[in-house]
Amino acid sequence: MKIDLHVHTNFSDGQPTYMEVIDKAKELGMDCIAITDHFDNYDTSPNIRRISDGELLEFFKKIKSYAEFKEQKVLCGIETCTDFNGNLRISDEVYNASEILITSVHYVEYSGELVKGEYFNDGYWEAFKEKIINMASGKGDVQGHPEGYLPINPLIKPGTTTYEERKAISSKIASRYFQDDFLKELADSLIKSGKAYELHGATSTPRESIIKFMASKNVTFSIGSDAHILDWIGKNQRAEEMCNKYNCKLVKV
């Protein structure tokens, strides 16, 4: 089963059009993909904040019609950040129209002091952990990039790090702060809510030991490349290997 349940298009911050994405999925022989553009009226990027319900619902219609024409299975979904308590901030209409809903921590509500260049801010990461537990307990289908793309932006001096450096910083933060008690609580929250834990292609996260742990707790997993360019679509080899190795239960599509 070849799936990729986290793909962006130029409807939000991705490069390709939805047609190019669907063509690519067909070419790769994907069993199912999900187009999950950013949809969050509270996002830090104005380009994402401005997307209206009407535009999104119209976009879903276009996706469905082209997918049907190409005979490619495509789920219409969104990726969104919740409030601190894990509550979604979308209309019932958008909620009901979304066949897959990814919640990801793109920002953290934190009022403590932040010093640029100091990544290991204990208070900030405690707040992050509280937020992700709240999110994992709340509504939605998938917890997106739980150990990747950590919201380190408020801690870095703009223009001082590369993509690869930010990935390395995220990984150091995960191993320093995401310890046993937190992971156990996260697994319990996911089991209770039924939300899936994402195996994230773009960042090759979470750590293998955590995948093993979550699988042993019988947590459900989702596979998503988080592609923003065509070449990333379906790049989930590591996730597929991990799923086979640890007999991961996958989200139903």
Q: Interface with Zn ion by CB under 5 A: which residues? A: 79, 104, 226
Which SS3 state, helix, strand or coil, does residue 251 take? coil
Q: Minimum distance between the CB of residue 148 and Zn ion, rounded to whole angstroms? A: 9
Q: Minimum distance between the CB of residue 216 and Zn ion, rounded to whole angstroms? A: 26
Q: Minimum distance between the CB of residue 152 and Zn ion, rounded to whole angstroms? A: 13
Give whichever of 122 and 201 is closer to Zn ion, judged by the CB atom: 201
Q: Minimum distance between the CB of residue 145 and Zn ion, rounded to whole angstroms? A: 6
Give whichever of 15 and 188 is closer to Zn ion, judged by the CB atom: 15
Give whichever of 17 and 212 is closer to Zn ion, judged by the CB atom: 17
Residue nearest to Zn ion (CB): 104
Give whichever of 43 and 226 is closer to Zn ion, judged by the CB atom: 226
Query: Residue 168: which residues within 8 A CB-CB, separation 6 or more?
Result: none
Q: Minimum distance between the CB of residue 181 and Zn ion, rounded to whole angstroms? A: 25
Give whichever of 43 and 79 is closer to Zn ion, judged by the CB atom: 79
